[in-house]
Structure 1
Amino acid sequence: LIKDDILGKVDRQIPTMLNYKTHIAKGSMFNTPPVIPIFSAYQTMLWIKANGGVEGMEKIVAEKANLLYNEIDRNSLFVGTVAKEDRSFMNICFVMSEGNKELEAEFSSFASERGMVGLKGHRSVGGFRASTYNALPLESVKALVECMQEFENLKK
């Protein structure tokens, strides 16, 4: 509670957002905080903390990336597009060996039939891009690896 006669009687500059007079004049609706984004950020931070914090996230993302890169390097049908020392943990790019566009379309359909979505690579590069952001579970990467192995066995 604030007395009306002291509102706005401050002898220093106050940001509008922190001025009670502004909020009272606008019926406490001057600036409603974005509640859903704040709540979402809070839930995300709790989830990160529960999974080991930044260090835990780093271990998980490295495990996912290594699992997929190992399959790309092992599998005769796929080739990584980035030098090993420059590989991303988050966006893993690869193409079909020998640039086989027909086989690329076939694998895309094959993966899609098995629930793999969003694998299409950048429009200027083509191929595939598997994003392994923090929210993607390790099981999803394992499923993609199994899909790649199954496709390789089918094409042998």
Structure 2
Amino acid sequence: MTTKSPPKLRPVDQRLCFLIYSTSLAMTQTYKPLLEETGLTYPQYLAMVVLWEQDGIAVKDLAARLGQDSGSMTPLLKRLESAGLVTRQRTPGDERSLSLRLTPAGQAMREKARKVDAAFERACDLTEEQVGQLLDGMEVLRGHLQGQR
């Protein structure tokens, strides 16, 4: 009787999970000095990007866009409010729901963010086609993984 040997494990640097993890770390480390002028952390920056796209968004919708739950967004949003970048307001017609509005300072920060975006694109050194391929592949992967829950 022959026994089948277990499959050989891939080395860590040849695993998709590690490549995504280490790339994510490299991205946040790249963003950190770029965001210094704005005073934003990377998670705060992502929230502001959504607000620049959709000012007046409900907190629950912002959380969904960022793949977070509403409760975990509260400390981040309080810091943005303390910095004078957003206001949180009860949504008319639904007192349980909060919406977010950019302040003039929050709107003005968009110009600084454009510089951050341009510097990050230069650091990535990818063509538009390469970026598109990466986005498509990551969306497919995320869809498969979210379907596994």
TM-score bracket for this pair, using the shorter chain length = under 0.3
Q: TM-score if structure 1 supplies the norm length? A: 0.22
Which has a greater percent of helix? 2
Q: TM-score if structure 2 supplies the norm length? A: 0.23
